Every structure is written in C-alpha cells, then in structure tokens.
Amino acid sequence: MVHMPITGCTPRVNRQRAFARGVATGAAVLTLSALPSSAANFTPPQGCKLEVTVQNRGCTVSQHYRCSGDAPGDQWVTYFTPDGQSYKSRIDSETRWLESTDLTTGIIDTLEPDAKDHASFSTLLKTGADDFDFWTSSNSGERLHHQGSDRLTGEKVNMDGVELEITQFHLTTRNESGDVLIEREGQQFISRAQGRFYGGVEKSSDWSGASENTNDSPVSFSFPGQPGFGSTKPEYDCDLQMVRGGKPDLNRQLMILKEART
C-alpha cells in the first residue's frame, strides 16, 4: 500500500499532512515548517540513479530512484510540494516500509524486524490479496502499529503510457497503547514493472472524528530524456491547495507513513 501519501496537503503522498507523533504521545498540536521553494531539478544522492519523476494529484511531485549500495530491490522516493522537499522513504522488493523521513521535522520511522505479518508485494501479485500487521518505531521514541490489507480489483488502466493495476486497501494505525490514530481506505495503483504502489482516491478519519477525502493519483510519468524528468515543481491541484490556505492537515502529517510504500 502507498500505504502516502501523503494528499490533501501533501500521497502511498501523499502524503504531507502535523505528524502522528503528537498523537502517539498525547500531544494534539502538530506543526509543519515550510521549506524554501525551488524549481531546480532533482539530483539523487551519490551512487543513486533517478528512474522516473511522477506528477501527482494533490500538488506533489515524486522522484523515484535506486542506489547501488542498497540491497537488491530496494528503492527510494522523495516528495516535493511547492515549498520544497517534504519527505522521503525507502521500500524493499516486497514494498515493506523500511524507512520514512519527515524532512520538515527530521523524524525518521523505521520498520521493526519482527512482525506478525509483513507486507508482501509478491503475495499480492500471486494471490490477488495481502494482509499485513507490523510496527514502526521512530527516532523520537514513538511506536506505531499498522494493520490492514491490499486487494487487486482486476482492473487495469493506462496512465500516461504506464500500465497500472487498481487496488482496494484498508489501513488502521494505532499507538502503543492501542488507541486508533487514523483509519484509511480507498483505491490505489500498483506497477508490476516498477515494483511499487502509487496513491489514489481515499477516505481517512482520525482519532478526533475528523475525516477527509483525498486524491493522490499519479497523472504523468517522465522517464530519462523526457520533458519533466527531475522536475521538482508540482503541477496538479496546486491552486486548490492555495485556496485551502495552508490549513493544518493531520492526514498530511501522517503522510510520511501514508506514502511510505510508494
């Protein structure tokens, strides 16, 4: 599952939406600091190769790349909003959320090695469904419990020349005490060729009872040599984001986990 968005304000960016940290520790007020905007092209870290740039709904653009020093099958994504880089994450060949970083706060979530049921992209492709039940822990001391499922609907779409398959998913995230922080359900996309999820249309609700409908669907794909490759300027739904006036968006704060598997 993109399992990021991180949208609405950031989307599997969406996506990014005052962070689950405060929730897990009982603090209800969360903030996102703005980063300087930049229209420069993205340069991946040394030893890494940018594969594709994706313009998404929800006013984000994502840079997908792989690094020679990582385990085979691992891949990274960095998301940009109009204010600059917002978060990045690394997944493995099974699309497990290995590491997710909120680039505005410096909080890093990592996958705990022991899980009741790790996410499995290969199981989803082979059987059409996959359940998962795992924990992540942060460098600030919080632990989050994620349970849910992905299911292939059998529908396929061609988006900007890229063949994608549609999934339905449900995800519940709880804190260490077992309190529900956020529930999400909706539709996402997968690419068999690229081995990753992309965001879609979903509904989320948090512990306060607030709910939100978001759309983090990919719109265009730019590969090496094509216009837009490496662009860090989001192109879609940004006027809508400005109309919303920068209203705090908890789901965006949880974006780092929402988009962890994209």
Residue 122 lies in a domain: yes
Cα separations in angstroms, 157 against 80, 189, 192, 257: 25, 9, 13, 25
Residue 13 lies in a domain: no
What mean pLDDT comes out for the span 230-241?
A: 91
**Would you say residue 104 has pLDDT above 90?**
yes
Residue 3 lies in a domain: no
Residue 163 lies in a domain: yes
Residue 144 lies in a domain: yes
Residue 67, classified by CB atoms within 10 Å of its CB into exposed (0-12), middle (13-18) or buried (19+), is middle
| Separation between Cα atoms, residue 194 and residue 87, nearest integer Å | 20
Which pLDDT score, from 0 to 100, does residue 84 have?
A: 96
Residue 16, classified by CB atoms within 10 Å of its CB into exposed (0-12), middle (13-18) or buried (19+), is buried
The residue range of the domain holding 188 is: 20-258
- CB 15 within 8 Å of CB 7: yes
**Rg (Cα) of the chain, in Å, rounded?**
16
Q: Which helix (H) or strand (E) holds 129?
A: strand 129-138
Residue 159 lies in a domain: yes
**Would you say residue 36 has pLDDT above 90?**
no
Q: Which sign does the torsion angle of CA 123, 113, 22, 33 carry?
A: negative
| Separation between Cα atoms, residue 77 and residue 98, nearest integer Å | 12
Q: How many separate domains does the chain show?
A: 1
Classify residue 246 as left (phi > 0), alpha (psi -120 to 50) or beta: left
Residue 12 lies in a domain: no
Could you read off the pLDDT of 117-161 as tens digits, one per residue?
Answer: 999 999 999 999 999 999 999 999 999 999 999 999 999 999 999
Q: Are strands 201-206 and 84-91 parallel, antiparallel or unpaired?
A: unpaired
Longest dimension (CA), the chain: 50
With H, G, I as helix, E, B as strand and everything else as coil, classify residue 104: coil
The CATH number given to whatever domain includes residue 66 is: 2.40.360
**Would you say residue 3 has pLDDT above 50?**
no
pTM comes to 0.82
Residue 103 lies in a domain: yes
Q: Are strands 60-67 and 48-56 parallel, antiparallel or unpaired?
A: antiparallel
Which pLDDT score, from 0 to 100, does residue 14 have?
A: 32
Q: Which amino acid is at 30?
A: L
Q: Which helix (H) or strand (E) holds 9?
A: none
